[in-house]
Amino acid sequence: MDLMDIWTLVAVYILIFLSLANLFIKPILFAKRMAGKVLKKLLRVRVPENQKKGVERLYTPIWVIIGLWAFFKLKDASLLGAVFGLLAFRSGANITRLLVYSSHDGKILKEMAEGRVLGILEKAVRISLILEAAFPFAMLLAYKTLSAVTISHGSVGKFLLELWVAGAIFGLVFGYLIAKDNRGLLLEDSVEALTFMIALKGKQKAEKAKERIKFRAP
């Protein structure tokens, strides 16, 4: 087995690991969102809601359509390339969109209270960014092998790289459009952001109570 085959094999294992990790993490993230919603209702915590939820719903259909198009375009030339093609656009888009969302939420939370707000957001997005970064790393490992396979207008490797970059640009633009003039939290159901809001509410109540005590004091 030559070096190129070894790198391709490593890339395949990373891709499998990434797919399985996402498969297991999805239910956990869903449970966290549900827990966040329940806590918001029980504790009556008002979290600034995303004002563009309707537009945001377009995100998933867009990457699914483009991913399926890439899969069927590449499946006859390379099954490995087709699998990468299914996820390439989504991977690029997720990374840049998540960065825009976390930056936006950091600014919103900073306006509510001073302190280590960004640390809370970093914890909320760190695992997602690590998982998303594993995909382009795997794709680059398999790039030479995929570049040896040609399609109508070039190589599979070049096509996948262009697809990932296109996804990154799309995620950046889409994230900007959702974040622009949006006074809500885009990661509003994250337990980390909710914990911050609960702590902020408690702090505000404590400060009001302290002010009342000072006012009543002789």
Q: Is the pTM here over 0.85, yes or no?
A: no
User: How many CB atoms lie under 10 A from the CB of residue 68?
Assistant: 12
Helix (H) or strand (E) holding 150: strand 150-151
What residues contact residue 15 under an 8 Å CB cut-off, 6+ apart?
83, 84, 135, 138
pLDDT tens-digit map of 119-160: 555 666 677 778 788 888 888 888 888 888 888 778 898 999
Profile the chain (218 residues) by mean pLDDT over runs of 10 residues. 70 80 68 64 67 91 96 90 92 92 79 55 69 86 84 86 96 95 75 55 57 54
Helix, strand, coil fractions of the chain, as percent rounded to 5: 80, 5, 15
Residues 191-206: b if buried by 16+ CB within 10 A, e if exposed: bbbbbbbbebeeeeee
Region of residue 154 (phi > 0: left; psi between -120 and 50: alpha; otherwise: beta): left
Instruction: List the structure tokens of 149.
Output: 């396979």
76 exposed, middle or buried (CB, 10 Å; 0-12, 13-18, 19+)?
A: exposed
